[in-house]
């Protein structure tokens, strides 16, 4: 199914659902704007509970006011500063504690895995690949860490460096986390999703052990020298997610040297999704 023309959303970051190409099944994109976390959480649970075999899959793009979220197996001890003034919400995704705030894209993936014949690990891999492709389109080198879902800063390839990747800034933040991932599967359908740091106040990450890792540095695209708009990055991410979920070939968002997935050495014990 071909995609309808996709226009950038208005300044309110809110627009009616737009259909994206995604293999044999469409994905509807919803721009939900700046929305309290609890409202998004309640809405995606209600959407998942009300699904039928014919319900189209959806991707929601959201920006949240400041909030910490703690996964099902999360240890409250990873919140290091209890009086930060930032609320903590316990949720039903996998993983430990993370932070959401203005300047971060949160993409919620409401996907029927059975219909698409996707295993959970394969969905995680495809989400990660979509983030890697998105960041590569801004000439940022990123990759995975074994056993730690999410995306981390890697050293640019020689080709990326030639094309303008900021090797100095990458080198100052090796292994820093730029995107976090956590899912819940209910009745064969996913909700929750992935967050990507664009241009945000990173100070609240110092009040937690991000995703359960003490001392893990967190960065955003601005830290790595990319002055990109929230809406532009969100649109790129949504398109790459739709292509990956549908099993469609990647397009110009791939790195120019053809490398889409690097592995970043992990120095700490494995953790569940986050």
Across residues 12-17, what is the average pLDDT?
43
- Ligand-binding annotation for 247, yes or no, is no
- Ligand-binding annotation for 164, yes or no, is no
Strand positions, DSSP E, the chain: 14-20, 27-34, 57-63, 67-70, 88-90, 97-100, 104-110, 142-145, 148-153, 177-186, 189-197, 262-263
Give catalytic residues, as residue numbers: 211
3-state secondary structure of 265: coil
- Ligand-binding annotation for 98, yes or no, is yes
Residues whose CB falls within 8 Å of the CB of residue 77, separated by 6 or more in sequence, listed in order? none
pLDDT confidence tier of residue 157, bands split at 50, 70 and 90: confident
Beta carbons of 181 and 128 less than 8 angstroms apart: yes
pLDDT confidence tier of residue 252, bands split at 50, 70 and 90: very low
Which CATH number applies to 14-263: 3.40.50.1820, 3.40.50.300, 3.40.50.720, 3.30.930.10? 3.30.930.10
- Quote the pLDDT of residue 249: 41
Residues whose CB falls within 8 Å of the CB of residue 100, separated by 6 or more in sequence, listed in order? 37, 64, 66, 67, 68, 69, 106, 195
- Ligand-binding annotation for 132, yes or no, is no
pLDDT tens by residue, 65-97: 999 999 998 899 898 988 899 999 999 999 899
- Ligand-binding annotation for 175, yes or no, is no
């Amino acid at each position: 199914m071909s995609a309808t023309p996709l226009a950038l959303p208005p300044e309110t970051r809110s627009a009616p659902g737009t259909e994206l190409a995604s293999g044999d099944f469409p994905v509807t994109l919803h721009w939900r704007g700046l929305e309290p976390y609890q409202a998004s959480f309640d809405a995606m649970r209600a959407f998942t509970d009300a699904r039928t075999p014919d319900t189209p899959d959806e991707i929601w793009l959201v920006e949240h006011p400041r909030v910490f979220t703690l996964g099902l197996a999360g240890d409250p001890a990873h919140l290091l500063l209890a009086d930060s003034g930032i609320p903590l919400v316990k949720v039903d995704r996998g993983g430990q504690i993370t932070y959401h705030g203005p300047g971060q894209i949160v993409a919620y993936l409401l996907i029927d895995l059975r219909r698409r014949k996707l295993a959970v690990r394969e969905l995680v891999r495809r989400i990660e690949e979509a983030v890697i492709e998105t960041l590569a389109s801004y000439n940022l080198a990123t990759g995975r860490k074994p056993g730690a879902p999410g995306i981390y800063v890697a050293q640019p390839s020689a080709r990326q460096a030639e094309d303008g990747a900021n090797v100095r800034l990458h080198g100052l933040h090796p292994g820093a986390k730029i995107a976090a991932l956590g899912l819940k599967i209910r009745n064969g359908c996913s909700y929750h999703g992935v967050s990507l740091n664009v241009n945000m106040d990173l100070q609240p990450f110092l009040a937690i052990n991000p995703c359960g890792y003490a001392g893990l540095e967190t960065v955003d695209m601005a830290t790595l020298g990319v002055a990109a708009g929230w809406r532009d990055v969100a649109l790129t991410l949504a398109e790459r997610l739709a292509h990956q979920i549908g099993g469609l070939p990647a397009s110009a968002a791939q790195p120019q040297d053809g490398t889409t997935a690097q592995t970043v050495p992990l120095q700490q014990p494995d953790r569940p999704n986050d």
